[in-house]
């Protein structure tokens, strides 16, 4: 039996977490808080699979705080064999967005009991980041590795919310696919990350994040499958 590789946590750390405002649909506006609610309602949820086996979840919750958008992320992954847990990872982050920009972020990661934190604050015209490997500065308007915000598509740098690094990236459009959601299959655009992050993500025509896939360090396939990507029918109707 091939067990969970020690390399996979690193791959997960860099890739899964997980965002110039512009959705895949250029008529949409990432900075409009109502557009976020129209896309997702107040919650976005994925089931996480490894080689086809359910191993975890990720929930993204949206709420308003005056003129700010609060985004809370809760992730958990557990790898077991013969009822023994070989690897467990939890991740929580709280971020605030204002005027299309990330103004603060607090993230905590626990990998098999090893806890690391990343903090980011908008100060002096820059985003100051403090992570386990030291401090870094980035221009305001940079996105974190959260994926829910399709404005990331045009990005060349991202704040890694696990280690605090500023990662160089490029997203390459690969074509259109059908992606399963709670509303059935939807047409979505496939983008492939290149550079310091290797990842594949899918956004529908409105810029809604609906799927993610990447290879773990042991060669296993990690997939984020949409469990709740749309607002409730009643909220959508209203």
pLDDT in tens, 157-192: 999 999 999 999 999 999 999 999 999 999 999 999
Range of the domain at 192: 8-237
What are the backbone angles phi and psi of residue 35, rounded to the nearest 5°?
-70, -35
Tokens of 57: 């979840």
H or E element that contains 37: helix 33-40
Q: Using CA atoms, how far apart are residues 13 and 162, in angstroms rounded to an integer?
A: 6
Q: Tell me the mean pLDDT in the region 80-90.
A: 89
Q: Is residue 2 part of a domain?
A: no
The total of structural domains in the chain comes to 1
Q: Is residue 1 part of a domain?
A: no
Q: Tell me the mean pLDDT in the region 191-203.
A: 96
Q: Which residue has the tokens 């005027």?
A: 99
Q: Residue 177 is part of a domain; what is its CATH number?
A: 2.50.20
Q: Is residue 160 part of a domain?
A: yes
Tokens of 42: 């107040």
Q: Is residue 217 part of a domain?
A: yes
- pTM of the complete model: 0.85
Q: Is residue 3 part of a domain?
A: no
């Amino acid at each position: 039996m091939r067990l969970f590789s020690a390399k996979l946590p690193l791959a997960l750390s860099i890739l899964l977490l997980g965002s110039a405002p512009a959705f895949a649909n250029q008529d949409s506006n990432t900075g409009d808080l109502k557009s976020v609610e129209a896309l997702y309602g107040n919650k976005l949820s994925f089931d996480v699979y490894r080689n086809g086996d359910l191993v975890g979840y990720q929930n993204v919750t949206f709420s308003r705080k005056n003129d700010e958008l609060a985004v809370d992320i809760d992730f958990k992954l557990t790898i077991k064999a013969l009822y023994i847990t070989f690897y467990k990872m939890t991740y929580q982050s709280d971020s605030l967005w204002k005027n299309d920009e990330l103004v603060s972020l607090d993230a905590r990661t626990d990998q098999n009991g090893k806890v690391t934190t990343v903090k980011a604050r908008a100060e002096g015209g820059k985003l100051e980041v403090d992570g386990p490997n030291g401090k870094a500065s980035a221009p305001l308007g940079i996105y974190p590795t959260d994926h829910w915000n399709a404005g990331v598509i045009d990005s060349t740098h991202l704040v890694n919310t696990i280690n605090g690094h500023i990662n160089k990236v490029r997203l390459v459009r690969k074509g259109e696919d059908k992606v399963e959601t709670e509303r059935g299959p939807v047409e979505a655009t496939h983008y492939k990350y290149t550079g310091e992050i290797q990842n594949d993500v899918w956004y529908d025509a409105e810029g809604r994040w609906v799927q993610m896939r990447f290879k773990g360090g042991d060669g296993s396939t990690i997939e984020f499958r949409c469990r709740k990507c749309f607002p409730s029918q009643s909220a959508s109707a209203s």
